[in-house]
Chain A
C-alpha cells in the first residue's frame, strides 16, 4: 500500500448545466509529493479539488483519495484530508481561538485545548486569540486557514491558492512549512498562479478549459512542451522585444535580468528568425536549454481567462 498513489482519478467530469467545467480529467499524485495544480482563472481547478474530497459529486469518472473511493467513502476521506478553500471560509464572527477550537472538535482531537494553544503559539497569534477572525488582514486569514486545516495531522493536503494575497516573507515561510510536511510523508496538492511557487513543486499538472493539457515531473515539463530558447544579450532590448514578437516563429519573449529569452515551439521557424538577426550583428545570440521558468511563462501566457466559456 505504501506505493499506492495518494490521489488517483480517471475520467473525472463535472457539468454545471450544459457547461462541462471539468472534462475527462486524469491525475495521479504520488504519496509524499508536492503536486502543483496550474491553470488560468475558471479552468476548473477548484471544481476538481472539490470533487476529490467529496464536496462535489462527479458526473462521470472514478477516483480514490488515500485509498478511499471518492464517491462512496467521502467520510473517510474528509477525516484524513486537510482542505484549505480558495475563499476564506472560517467563521468571521468567531474569534481566532474559537475557530481553531471548532475545527479541533470537528476532527475529534484529544487534548483539544493544548492542540489549539500550540497552533496559536506557532502562528504567533496567542496574544490575539480573542480577536474576531473577520477582523484579520487577508494574509493573516490565509495563515489561520492553513493552520486550522493542519491541526488534525492530515495525510493529504488540498490547498486551493493558499498564498493568494500573502506577503513574500510569509509565502516563503508557507513553502518551508509545506516542504517540511512533505518530508514527513504528507502529500500536498496545491493550486497556484505564481510561477515561483510552481517551480518548487515536484510534479505539475496544467489544466485549461477543464481539460488537462500537461502533467509531468517538473523537470520534464520543458521537454514536453518542446520549447526552443535563445538568449539575447546587447543594447536596446526593449525595441528589439517588440520587433521580435511580430516575427513568425517567435512565440514568447521574456526579460531575464539584462537578457531576453526568445522561445518558440516551431524550431525551424525560430531558427530562420535567429539566422536573420545574427546577420545584423547588433546582439549576441546563444541557444540554451529551455528551463522551467520559460515553460511556465509559456503556459501561462498562452492561456486566456477561461471564464468566457469558449472551448479550446
Chain B
C-alpha cells in the first residue's frame, strides 16, 4: 500500500475540475466576483469625488481671495453652494450635511500675504466619510498654491516666489484619520481572495459528505492527503485566475501602480491562497451541510473586512481589535500587497508579513488534520 498514489491524487483532481466546470454558476461567480467587487469598491471609493458641496465664509474681498475660490472651483473637487456667516453657521452646515467643506478666508488675507505674515486659510472638512474628502484635501494645497501664484502678479510677484506665502489649515472633523484611496484597491485583493477561496473550498468539501459521495470516496483505498491535495489544487488555480483578472482590472480601470518586486508578490500571494484554502478545509471539518459551510465562511469574512485594516486604519483600532486582527491572514496580506504594489517593497520588506501568515497557516493546518476523519463517525 503506497502512502501516496499519484494516480489516485490525479483521479480526485480530474474529478474536481470536471465538477467545477459543470457548476457554471459557481464558476461564473469565481470570475465575476473579483470584477464586480473591484468595480463596486473601486469606482465608489477610489474615484476622486467631484463637486463636493462647499460653503465659504468670506472675510476678505481681495482679488487674491477670489483667486483662491476660483482655483478651488476649477479643480472640480469643490462646488460652492453657499455662504456661511461665522463658525457656528459653518459647523451646522457640516453637521447636517449641506456641505462637506467650509472654507474660511481670514480678514485681510491679501494684505497679510503681502506683509509676509503667511495668513491661514481654514478649511473645515467633514471627514466622517474619509474617502469622500481625503483626495480633495490632498489636492488642496497644490490647487491653492497655483491659484495664488497666478493672481500675485506685478509688484506682488516677489512674494509669490517666497516659500508659503500663506498656509492652509485643514481641520478634519468627526474622524481624524482618513484613508487614501489608492490603498483600497490593493487591499481589495486580500478580501476577494479570502471571500471566494475560503467559501468555495469549504463548500466543495462539505458537498461530498452532504451528497453522500463521501461514502464511496473513502471506501476506495484513497488517502486523506490525496483527497486534500486533489480537492485544494483546483482552487489554487482559481485563485490564480482571480488574481490575474484582478491585476489586469486594477491596472486598466484604476491605473493602480505596481511598483514593487514581482517575485515578492508571487511568493506572498501563493502563501495567502494556501492559508485561505486551509481555512476552508478547516471549516469543512466543522460544517455538516453546504449551507452551514457557507454561513461559517461568511462569518469569518466579517472580521476579515472589519478588523484587517481594509475598512478602518489598523493603527486606529483599539487593542483588543488589533489582537484579533493580527490573527487574521488578510491583515498581513493586506500590508504585504500595499507594500509591494504601492511602496516598491521587495522580499526583505515583506518577510515579517510572510512569517505571520506562515504561523497562521501552521496552526490552521494542524487543527484541520487533527479534525479530519477518514471514517464516517
Instruction: Report which A residues bind B (CB closer than 8 A).
Output: 50, 53-57, 75-76, 78-79, 81, 83, 85, 87-94, 98, 102-103, 105-108, 148
Contact = CB atoms under 8 A, between A and B. Distances in A.
Interface string B284-305: 0000000000000000000000
Given A57-B377, A93-B22, A94-B18, A102 B215 contact: no
Interface in B7-30: 7-8, 10-11, 14-15, 18-19, 22-23
A79 B215 contact: no
Interface in B189-222: 211-216, 218-222
Given A85-B219, A89-B216, A54 B19 contact: no
Nearest to A83: B219
Nearest to B222: A106
Contact of B19 (A56, A57, A93): A93
B18 A85 contact: no
Interface in B105-148: none
Contacts of B15: 91, 94, 98, 102
Given A55-B218, A55-B375, A56-B375, A108 B18 contact: no
Given A79-B221, A94-B15, A106-B221, 17 more contacts: A50-B376, A56-B375, A57-B375, A76-B1, A78-B219, A78-B221, A81-B219, A89-B213, A91-B15, A92-B211, A98-B15, A98-B18, A105-B7, A105-B10, A107-B220, A108-B5, A108-B8
B10, B22, B223, most chain A CB atoms within 10 A: B22
A50 to B, nearest CB: 6
A53 B375 contact: no
Interface string B219-252: 1111100000000000000000000000000000
Contact of A55 (B10, B19, B376): B376
B212 A91 contact: no
Nearest to A145: B216
Nearest to A88: B212
Contacts of B215: 55, 85, 87, 89
Contacts of A87: 212, 215
B373 to A, nearest CB: 9
Contacts of A91: 15, 19, 213
A75 B213 contact: no
A83 B216 CA distance: 8
A93 B213 CA distance: 11
A107 B15 CA distance: 15
B212 A89 contact: yes
Contacts, number: 75
A153 B7 CA distance: 18
Contacts of B213: 89-91
Interface string B357-377: 000000000000000000111
A55 B218 CA distance: 7
A91 B12 CA distance: 12
B40 to A, nearest CB: 31
A128 B220 CA distance: 25
Nearest to A75: B1
B220 A106 contact: yes
B19 A94 contact: yes
Contacts of A53: 219
Contacts of A92: 211
Contacts of A76: 1
Nearest to B11: A105
A105 B16 CA distance: 14
Contacts of B216: 83, 85, 89-90, 103, 148
A236 B7 CA distance: 68
Contacts of A75: 1, 221, 223
Interface string B21-64: 01100000000000000000000000000000000000000000
B7 A108 contact: yes
A90 B214 CA distance: 9
A53 B218 CA distance: 10
A106 B218 contact: no
Contacts of B23: 93
Contacts of B1: 75-76, 79
Contacts of A105: 7-8, 10-11, 14
B355 to A, nearest CB: 37
Nearest to A55: B376
Contacts of A54: 375
Nearest to A108: B7
Given A76-B1, A87-B212, A103 B18 contact: no
B221 A107 contact: yes
A98 B15 CA distance: 8
Contacts of B212: 85, 87-89
A90 B223 CA distance: 18
A56 B219 contact: no
B10 A56 contact: no
A30 B18 CA distance: 41
A161 to B, nearest CB: 14
B27 to A, nearest CB: 12
6 contacts: A55-B219, A91-B213, A93-B19, A93-B22, A94-B18, A102-B14
Contacts of A85: 212, 215-216, 219
B204 to A, nearest CB: 12
Instruction: Give the 6 A-B CB pairs with smallest separation, nearest first.
Output: A105-B11, A106-B220, A89-B216, A83-B219, A89-B212, A79-B221
Contacts of B376: 50, 55-56
Nearest to B219: A83
